[in-house]
Amino acid sequence: MTLNAVPQSMHFDAPLALQSGASMAGYDLAYETYGRLNADRSNAVLVCHALNASHHVAGVYEGQPGSEGWWDTMIGPGKPLDTERFFVIGVNNLGSCFGSTGPMHANPATGRPWGADFPVVTVEDWVDAQARLLDALGIASLAAVMGGSLGGMQALSWTLQYPRRVRHAAVIASAPNLTAENIAFNEVARRAIVTDPDFHGGHFYRHGVVPKRGLRIARMIGHITYLSDDVMNEKFGRQLRDGIDLRYTTQDIEFQIESYLRYQGDKFSEYFDANTYLLITRALDYFDPARAHGGSLAKALATATADFLLVSFTTDWRFPPARSREIAKALLDNRRRVSYAEIDAPHGHDAFLLEDARYLAVVRAYFDRIAAEFSA
């Protein structure tokens, strides 16, 4: 059964207070919903997106072949998160470039694109904005909140910011904060963008250009961290792009892996916004709920009351299993109910987006249990 997706948008006039001390007024949030809200509104599930994804989590747009949502393997009729039982909401985060108010939109104070003047946003700010949308939809509590990678950080933050509104949380391929190595990757990617001559201090819109060179390099760097060494070796190895002879060049593409990375960079630079990339990677850097508790994650998670599912993947070196186990230990230290699955999968960090029978079975079993609670 094909799930038809319909983009929606909601405007908010009331200012949203941000963690930085700034505020955001007169903003829009793009979102999509799937399935039906039951009579007592107890079957709502919020799905939070990662860096370059959006509110389009599942289904297809009518008349647009190939427009499947980014988590279509996970969400839909008869799928692990079954839209015949759950009402699923996907929200595009503030500062993104897929419909919600972001740097490319007009700053009401100037009438020109926000550009680099768009306020810095955090995971906590996104959660507050999502909560406002749920309020407007008449949803007081969530059966579950779910996300992978950066989306998993948002799911974790939901359990801390709004503990009484979340009954379950599925945190997949995520971490309680970034390591120094991950912050370093983000910084190199950001420097690639801001040093592109077409960046113009973040106000490239008014110059009619896009810092594509920087975006390409940023995506190439990021993409390396999403794949495992095994997958890259299996898919590309040391294969040359053209035949079997070396061309002895330092400027042109020689190896298949180089061609693949350049293709990914080119594609990304055609649709993603440079200022959005800076904002979202910085939000990743800033997320650290333990920071306000002397570095103790157990103390930070003491206010969480939700039931948790944590999933990690053996070859994910960006957010390795040890990071999920940190969250599990902190929750168990607080006597919270935690299910943990470590999936042996070869695909690296991207495994959370891919079809894997064991992974999907774990998530299906978790949502079966949640459905039994509100169906009883």
Looking at the annotation, which residues are catalytic? 149, 316, 349
Q: Please list the residues that pair with 309 across neighbouring strands.
A: 170, 339
Distance of CA 181 to the CA centre of its chain: 19
Backbone angles phi, psi at 161, to 5 degrees: -80, -35
219 marked ligand binding residue: yes
Distance of CA 244 to the CA centre of its chain: 40
Q: What is the spatial distance between Cα 15 and Cα 321, in angstroms, rounded to a whole number?
A: 39
288 marked ligand binding residue: no
Cβ contacts of 256 within 8 Å, gap of 6 or more? 236, 237, 239, 240, 241
Is the CA virtual torsion 91, 93, 96, 102 positive or negative?
positive
CB distance 196 to 204 below 8 Å: no
Q: How many CB atoms lie within 10 A of CB 233?
A: 11
Which stretches within 236-345 are classed as H helix? Answer: 256-271, 274-286, 297-300, 321-333
Summarize the annotated binding site as residue ranges.
219, 350
Summarize the annotated binding site for substrate as residue ranges.
219, 350
